[in-house]
Amino acid sequence: MKAFMVEWYGDKAGVRGGEMPDPQVGADDVLVRIHAAGVNPLDLKIRDGDFKAILPYRLPLVLGNDLAGVVVRVGPAVTRFAVGDEVYARPDKDRIGTFAELIAVHQDDVAIKPATLTMAEAASLPLVALTAWQALVERARVQPGQKVLIHAGAGGLGTIAVQLAKQLGAHVATTASTASVDLVKELGADVVIDYKRQAFETVLDGYDVVLDTLGGETLEKSLRVLKPGGKVISVAGPPDAAFARELGANAILRLAMSALSFKTRRRAKRLGVTYSFLFMKASGDQLRELTPLIDAGKIRPVVDRVFPFEATREALEYVEKGRAKAGKVVVAMT
């Protein structure tokens, strides 16, 4: 099969297109012919080797973390899917590789594609939709009337998180550039902070939850807009010991991750709030929870641009240089 793979870590020169063996299909796997795949900042971090200490992939590694396509074969133990089903998925972190013609995915990580979406639209969703769900529903347990701040509301994750938070009944604030203010208002944001004109930490106060997608100074300032007992959940900040435990990391790695987030957790504790790091997990069940909201139009994908499969390297560069104006970038195989 054709695929785009990482031959060595470090930069874009390590990514090339080529031929790889077709995937082996396990008893619980579905083999999917990929029609479209989402491009995520996570792909760039994996390409650059940022996670090689905790996700020890074997090179060459096929990149890509979410997909939409058609089932072309099922393993003997598969009960949920049949050949011909249109599906979407975020493969497990140990089985990525959606920048390819084919992928074998465990049936537990797959869901039937929303009927109202094109393949490209569906491929833009799994990773960011699952991240939003796991942050806002699973971890923060957002309740109606709570105040939620979502950073970078026009980004791939932000566009979905804003909509999901509104469906949960939250009062939603977000940060965005001047050009994106109207979009995030359309998506449901109650308060929009134009970060080019205002400092969010001087405007917002008393928030229950912050979903941090930026890390760094933004994360540190976010701690100060929470009310006592509030939570910052970050996908961009320093990992913590809880994340290391989820990975099954050894004691040394757990200690190292705890040290990375020590200052942030200490600041949070002094302010009477909590900090946690989120690395999302694959889940077909959670995608099935999201699908009715998508088919009802309550959560809609925002796709910035679709690249042809042959231009996957250009799509990665487009994301890396921050050229996307809003939402997700997708590569289409067909």
Q: What percent of the chain has pLDDT over 70?
A: 100
Of the pLDDT bands very low, low, confident and very high (cuts 50, 70, 90), residue 12 is confident
Local structure of 258: helix, strand or coil: helix
**Over the chain, what is the mean pLDDT?**
95
212 token code pair: 């941090």
Task: Inform me whether the pLDDT recorded for 249 exceeds 80.
Answer: no
pLDDT for 254 equals: 80
The CATH number that domain 2-124+301-332 falls under is 3.90.180.10
pLDDT for 179 equals: 95
CA atoms in the 13 A half-sphere facing the CB of 124 = 25
Task: Inform me whether the pLDDT recorded for 263 exceeds 90.
Answer: yes
Sign of torsion over alpha carbons 220, 226, 229, 233: negative
Task: Inform me whether the pLDDT recorded for 303 exceeds 80.
Answer: yes
CA gap 54, 249 in Å, rounded = 8
Q: Does domain 127-277 have CATH number 3.40.50.720?
A: yes
- Residue 283 DSSP one-character state: -
Predicted confidence (pLDDT) per residue in 151-184, tens digit: 999 999 999 999 999 999 999 999 999 999 999 9
Q: Summarize the confidence of residues 44-65 as an average pLDDT.
A: 90
251 token code pair: 């004691």
CA gap 296, 290 in Å, rounded = 10
Query: How far apart, in Å, are the Cα atoms of 92 and each of 29, 49, 96, 107, 251?
Result: 12, 18, 6, 11, 23
Q: Does residue 87 contact residue 71 with C-beta atoms inside 8 Å?
A: yes
Predicted confidence (pLDDT) per residue in 110-166, tens digit: 999 999 999 999 999 999 999 999 999 999 999 999 999 999 999 999 999 999 999
Of the pLDDT bands very low, low, confident and very high (cuts 50, 70, 90), residue 260 is confident
Q: Point out the least confidently predicted range of 26-35, 210-219, 248-257.
A: 248-257
Extents of the domains making up the chain: 2-124+301-332, 127-277
